[in-house]
Amino acid sequence: MAKLTPYNVGIGVIVAIGTFGYGYGFGVFITSIGQPGFYLDMKLDPTSRYTANILGAINALFAAGAAFGAISQAWLADRFGRKKSLAMSALLSCIGAAWTAGSPYISMLLTIRVVHGFGLGMLICLVPLYLTEVSPPHCRGIISGMTVMGFGVGYCVVAFVSVGTYYSTNPTLQWRLPLALAAVGPLGLLLGLPFVPESPRYLCWVGQAEAALKVIERLHNDQSDPNNAAAYAEFVQIKAQVEIDKEQKSGYITMFTKPSWRRRSLLVVFIMFSSQATGVNGIANYLVVIFADLGLTGILPLLLYGIYAVVGTAAAIYACFVMDRFGRRQLFIIGFPVLAVNLIIEALLQREYLNRGNKAAGGAAVAFIFLFIVLYQFIDAPSFVWCAEIFPTNLRAKGIGLSMFAYFVGFITFSTPGPRAFREIKWGMYLIYMGCSIVCGVIAFFYVPETKGLPIEEMGVLFNDGVALHMTSDGRGIVEKQENQEIERVEVESKLKDEST
């Protein structure tokens, strides 16, 4: 089995800068609401119900923009290619960040937050789309998982940038500088894109087979395979499957009319909506406020949020590395019920000790919030990978767009009521999230198939779709199948030797 190469990692890191930008841009308002200057400049009372509604609207409008960006990117990706679409979405995200930072009024801030969300919503889809299509099967979990690593690092950076600006004597700089720096991630992606190749699957789709083969050969680059047999086998499989996919009608409506595509579509909607039903963003978006309710004051809520982001990112990185070993399904069916147990413990702790001045109990409640984000990563990391790998080439961009649309609808559903809900029913919100986690775990157990190690051209097997060719277990040959019987094994390595002579 080939190993992960520096070239694979380099491509992943460059493109994952896009999701770094998403993580930073998404998280910047989580920390802004912990800055005194934000409330002073916008003339808001931090304790009022009106302010709670404004905070909910800021996050909801960002998510709405991101949801429509997620759906819109599919047309761009299929029409102009993966690289050009990444560039366009990065440029729009830069503009959105600059306008957000310069917004003088709350009304303008709310409006521009939609634009910023639209650009970042495209990025959060295009990054896993691209990384999935350039990943060899044996390391797809790690490479595609860099999507999650990227926005985790973005959360960390914005948290500690905000800790630094908290000490500024200029109240405007406290929250506007972090907003302006949200343009750094998309700008970094724009600068890095010339150094990465176009997706080989997209190149095959538009008839540039020779260019696709060159890209695949470089992506494999295995010293133990001097004839590039594995690269050629993957190329043959991709090319054959693309020809079948081209004969299929593709569109959002068709995704729900053809049974095998409908199952895929419903499952990605479920996976991404369920990740929000755990309450992760309902908790994280107002974590600074929750920490304050637990008796923490001054810089401590912001500092703890920064540590929370670091812990979550470390867990996400670990989850990406074990995903190819244990599988996506295994992480889902263990992650949801364990998360439910954590949530009920958090609810009980806050019911007994919230606002009662018990520091030991408050510390325990904070500890279980930290444990929550660790456990959540074993659901979150495989979610992005699984949803990006199960669709055929003609539907992959649309499938990812649909999944992220569901993600942001879930975000709005479970996060927008957050500020008011945590003030009104407090610990009861954790019980709602717990119940949702249990239901999601049951559905995942019965309906979500395992995709670990399977080439994305063979995902159709899991959904009763036709597959053009099957790769051998060593990845260096092709098995043609007819009526479930092996009829021919094409030894690609031998074929290459014959051609060279």
Enter the tokens of residue 115.
């634009």
Provide the CA 403 distance to its chain's centre, in angstroms: 10
SS3 state at 399: helix
The reported pLDDT for the residue numbered 501 is: 44
* CA distance to 174, 306, 338, 455, 467, per residue, from 32 (Å): 8, 13, 31, 43, 50
Tens of pLDDT, residues 251-291: 888 999 999 999 999 999 999 999 999 988 888 777 777 77
First-to-last C-alpha distance (Å) of the chain: 26
The reported pLDDT for the residue numbered 183 is: 95
Question: Above 50 in pLDDT, residue 494?
Answer: no
The reported pLDDT for the residue numbered 225 is: 67
How many whole angstroms separate alpha carbon 182 and alpha carbon 161?
A: 11
Mean pLDDT score, 147-155: 92
Other CB atoms within 10 A of residue 386 CB: 27
The better pLDDT of the pair 396, 473 is held by 396
Confidence of residue 226 (pLDDT cuts 50, 70, 90): low
Question: Above 90 in pLDDT, residue 426?
Answer: no
Question: Above 80 in pLDDT, residue 499?
Answer: no
Enter the tokens of residue 28.
């910047």
Confidence of residue 473 (pLDDT cuts 50, 70, 90): low
CB-based contacts of 238, cutoff 8 Å, min separation 6:
200, 201, 204, 212, 216, 457
DSSP state of 457: G
Tens of pLDDT, residues 118-136: 999 999 999 999 999 998 8
Tens of pLDDT, residues 164-220: 988 888 988 888 999 999 999 999 999 999 999 999 999 999 999 999 999 999 988
Tens of pLDDT, residues 392-409: 999 999 999 999 999 999
Question: In the β-sheet with 470-471, what is the strand arrangement from edge to edge?
Answer: 470-471, 477-482, 485-491
Q: What DSSP line would sit under 86-149, residue for residue? A: HHHHHHHHHHHHHHHHT--SHHHHHHHHHHHHHHHHHHHHHHHHHHHHTS-GGGHHHHHHHHHH
Mean pLDDT score, 218-242: 83
The reported pLDDT for the residue numbered 481 is: 53
The reported pLDDT for the residue numbered 480 is: 61
Contact 405, 273 (CB under 8 A): no
Mean pLDDT score, 227-237: 85
Share of the chain above pLDDT 70, in %: 91
Domains and CATH numbers, the chain: 6-196+248-458 (1.20.1250.20), 207-247+469-501 (no CATH)
The reported pLDDT for the residue numbered 355 is: 61
For the CA atoms of 177, 182, 183, 186, the dihedral, rounded to the nearest 10 degrees, stands at: 160
Query: What are residue 480's DSSP bridge partners?
Result: 488
The reported pLDDT for the residue numbered 29 is: 80
The reported pLDDT for the residue numbered 365 is: 83
The better pLDDT of the pair 455, 362 is held by 455
